[in-house]
Structure 1
Amino acid sequence: MLAELQEIKARLCLNSTTSHQPPSQDKPWTPKSERQKTGRSSGAQPGHKGKTLKMVEHPDEVVTLPVTGHCGCGQAWDTVTVSDELARQVLDLPEIRLHAVEYRAQVKVCPTCHHREQASFPAHVPGQVQYGACIHGLAVYLNVVHFVPLKRTANILEAVCGTTISDGTIALSLNVAAERLTDFETELKSALLNAPILHADETGSKVNGKLAWMHVVSCKQLTLYGHHEQRGYAALKNMDVLPQFQGTVVHDAWSTYFQLPAQHALCNAHLLREWRHLAEEHGQIWAGELRSAMQLVYHEHKAGTLTSEGKAAFLDRFDMLVQAGLDVNPPAEPIPEQRGRVKQTRGRNLALRCQRHREAILRFLDDQQVPFDNNQAERDIRMACVKRKVSGGFRSAKGSMNFCRIRSYTSTLHKQGTSIWRGLVSIFRGDIIMPNFS
C-alpha cells in the first residue's frame, strides 16, 4: 500500500519538467527550466538586429500642410517663401474591397464563310463568376496557418473584404490547394530521404470525434506532416519516408521507431526530465547524478572543451550509474497465473532503456551532426496541439490530409525564409513557388 501511495503521489507531481507532459498542462506556477543561467540580462543582447517602425523613402501620397494666417508683426504667411519642411508619416492599410476584373472575349463572324470565332478566356477564369487567387490564398492562410475555423474565416473575410463566402467555398480552396501541391509533396519526400538526419514525432488529433494521430518528419529546412488513424508503423509506412530512410532518426524512444532500418538517436531532453522526476519524487540518487553528468558533458561537448579523457570518464560513469539504477530497482516478481510480461517500476524501465539504447542516447558525442535533443520535431508538431485547442479536430480524413499537405508547404517555406502569403497566392495563380529541395 505504501508503494502504491508513493506511485500515485509521484504521478500527481508530473509536469513538463519531469515527464512528456506538455507545458500547456502544467499548473499555473512557472515550472523549473532546464536552461543554465548565463549571467546575461534578459531581452535582446548586444549586436541583435532590432526591428522598429521606419519612414519609407518613397511615400504613396504626400499631404502638404501650408502655414496660414499672419505673423505677429502683421506679415501674411501666404506671401512668405517656404524655407523648410518637416515630415511625419502614417503607415496604414488602404481600404480593402474586392477588385472586380471583367474579361470580355471578343466574338467575330467571317463575312465570307460566316465562321464564328471567339477569343479564349484565361485558364484562371473557368466560370461565369469566381474568386481570385488572393481571396483563396487568404482563406487558406487563415484556416491552415492560423487555425481559424471555417465559419470564423468566413466572418473575417466578410468583415474585411465585404464579401460573404460560404464554408463550402473555403473547403473548395483547401481541396484545390492540396491537389495542386501533390508534386511538391512528392519532391519533399525525395528530399527528406536524402537528408542525413531526420526528426520524428507524433501527437493526437481527432477526425470526426475519433482519436487519430498527426505525425511529423522534418529537418532544419523541410517539414512533412501526415495524418493517420493509427499511431504505429502503418502511419509511418503511409507517409512513405522513414521506412526507406537510411540516415539517422532522432525520436523520443517510441517503440515503433525502432522498427525502422535507420540509425537511432534518442531525445535526451526527455531523459533529463524523467531522471529529474525519479530523483525528486522517488529519491533515487543514481538518476539525479546521471542527469547532472549528462548536462555537464553536453555543455562541454557544445563548447568544444570535452577531451577524450573526459568523454571516457563520462562513459564509465554512465554505465556505473545505469547499473546502480538496475540494482536499486530489481525486477518485479511474476504473479501466478498472470499472462504477459510483468509490470516493472518506472525506475527499472528507465534504467533498462538507458542500458539497451546506450548507443542511441550517446550518439551525439560521436557524430557532430546529431543533436542532443528532438526539439526540431517538438517545435514542428507543436502547431497540431495549438490547432486542437483553437479549432478542434477535423471533420473528415480528406480534410486532415489537405491540412497536412498545405501545412507541410507553408512550414517548409517559413523555414527557408520565403513568404508564406506569396506562396499560397502562387498556388491559385498556377505558378507555384517551390522551396529549395537540395
Structure 2
Amino acid sequence: MSASPDKVVVLPVTGTCACGQHWNEVEVQDLLARQVMDLPEVRLQVSEYQAEVKVCPRCHGRQQAAFPGNVRGQVQYGPRFQALAVYLNVAQFLPFKRVGDVLETLCGQRPSEGTLALHLNLATERLAEFEAGLKEALLEEPVLHVDETGSKVGGKLAWVHVISSKQLTLYGHDPHRGSAAIQTMGVLPQYSGVLMHDAWLTYFQLPAQHALCNAHLLRELRFLHEQLGQDWAGELRAALQLVYHQHKVAPLTPMEKTAFLVRFDALLEAGLVSNPAGEPVPKQRGRVKQSPGRNLALRCQKRRDMVLHFLHKEGVPFDNNQAERDIRMVCVKRKISGGFRSDKGGKNFCRIRSYLSTLQKQGFSIFKGLVSIFRNNILIPKLSLL
C-alpha cells in the first residue's frame, strides 16, 4: 500500500445504532483502509505560448517577444510525448505502425511515421557526446564481453555488435560482421584488458588478453557426451562445473589448481584417443576433416589458458553471459518488428539502445532519461570507474 495516496475518500458511518444512538454523534475510533491503484485519464496537455507583439508609438518600430528555445514549430509534440514514442520503438521494439496505434489509443493523437523518424534522429544526434564518452569508458574496463548477431536492413543481412560490461553497453550496427565492423566501432582495436568471447576467429586478431566462454564449452561437451556417447566429455564437463563452483566460494589453493590442471589435460588426451585423426582423402585439397570431439579437444589444448582464464586472474568471469544477455534484446527486437528500413535506422537504434541499456544497468529510469534527451538536458550515467 502507498504511504502517500493522491486521494483519500473517507466513508462515514451513517444512521443509528440498534439502541437508537445516532452515529454522527459518536467519535471515530479507527479507520480501515483499502487502496485502488489506477491510471489517471491519459490526454495530451496543450500549452500555448503567446508572444506579445508591440509597435513603438514614436518610431513605429515593431518588437516581438522571443519564444522559448525548445518551442520551434507552430504545433509540435513535447518531450514526454517524444520520449514515449521512442521508448515504444527502441525499448519495447514496436514498429512505427504499432507505435502509432498505441499513441492514438492512449493519447488520441497519431504521429506520422516521418515524425517518429525525426524523434529518433534527434535523440541519436543529441546522444553523440554520450556515445563518445561511453567508448572511452569501455577502454578503462578490466573485462569486456563481446558478441554479434544478424540484423536485416532492407531485406539484406547486416550485423549488430555489442561490447559490454556490468555497468556499460555499446551497440554498433554495420553491414559487415568481421574486422571492418570492429574497426568502425573504435573500441576493441585499442583495448588491452581481458576480452571475453565465444572463440570467433576474428576476435583473436585483437591485441586484448583473451578469455573464452565456458558456457559454450559446457554445451558442446554435453552434446558429445549425451548424443555421441563420449564419456571423457561428460567427465570434463563435470570437472569444469565443480571447479567453477569451488572457485566461486574461495580461490583454489595451488595444490587444488595443479590437481585440476592435470585432470583437465588428461581428459583432453582421452578425448584425442577417442577421436583419432582423420585420414587424408586421395586427391582432396585442404585440411582433413576431423570429428567434432577431436576439434574440441584440440581447441581446448591450444587455447588452454584462455579457457581457464577465470582460474588464473581475479575478476574474470566463467562465461560470456553478460554479452549474451545484452545481444538477446536485439534478437527480441528482430522477432517482434523485424529488421530496419535503412542503415541509418539501425545506427539510430543502436546508439539509443546503448544509452537505455547503460541507464538500466545503473538503476536509472530509462523513461526519465529519454525525457531528458528531448529537454536537451541529458541525464548522463556514470561512465568512469574512478
TM-score range, shorter chain: over 0.9
Please tell me the residue identity of whatever aligns with 1:56.
A
* Equivalent of 1:339 in 285, 288, 303: 285
- Summarize the alignment of residues 317-336 of structure 1 with structure 2, pairs less than 5 Å apart: 317-336=263-282
Other-structure match for 2:181: 235
Cα deviation digits, residues 323-370 of structure 1 (max 9, x gap): 222232222222233332222211111011101111101111111110
Other-structure match for 1:55: 2
Question: Structure 1: any 5+ residue segments left out of the alignment?
Answer: 1-53
Please tell me the residue identity of whatever aligns with 1:336.
P
Question: Structure 2: any 5+ residue segments left out of the alignment?
Answer: none
Counterparts of 1:395 and 1:135, CA distance in 2: 24
Normalising by structure 1, report the TM-score.
0.85
| Higher RCO (CA 8 Å, separation ≥ 6 residues) | 2
Other-structure match for 1:226: 172
Q: Which moved more, 1:249-258 or 1:232-241?
A: 232-241
Between Structure 1 and Structure 2, how many residues are aligned?
A: 384
Deviation at 1:169, TM superposition (A): 1.5
Please tell me the residue identity of whatever aligns with 2:128.
T
3-state DSSP of counterpart to 2:19: coil
Counterparts of 2:124 and 2:290, CA distance in 1: 46
Please tell me the residue identity of whatever aligns with 1:126.
R
Please tell me the residue identity of whatever aligns with 2:93.
F
* Identity across the alignment (%): 66
Other-structure match for 1:265: 211
Please tell me the residue identity of whatever aligns with 2:3.
V
3-state DSSP of counterpart to 2:252: coil
Other-structure match for 1:373: 319
Cα deviation digits, residues 181-224 of structure 1 (max 9, x gap): 11111000000011111000111121111122111000010000
Please tell me the residue identity of whatever aligns with 2:368.
R
3-state DSSP of counterpart to 2:147: strand
- Summarize the alignment of residues 37-436 of structure 1 with structure 2, pairs less than 5 Å apart: 54-57=1-4, 59-304=5-250, 306-436=252-382
Counterparts of 1:151 and 1:253, CA distance in 2: 39
Other-structure match for 1:4: none
Cα deviation digits, residues 140-190 of structure 1 (max 9, x gap): 111111111111111111111111222221121111111111111100000
Counterparts of 1:302 and 1:405, CA distance in 2: 35
Cα deviation digits, residues 265-296 of structure 1 (max 9, x gap): 00011111111111121122221221121112
Cα deviation digits, residues 248-271 of structure 1 (max 9, x gap): 100000111001010100001111
Deviation at 1:81, TM superposition (A): 4.3
Q: Which moved more, 1:248-257 or 1:234-243?
A: 234-243
Normalising by structure 2, report the TM-score.
0.96
Counterparts of 2:163 and 2:280, CA distance in 1: 39
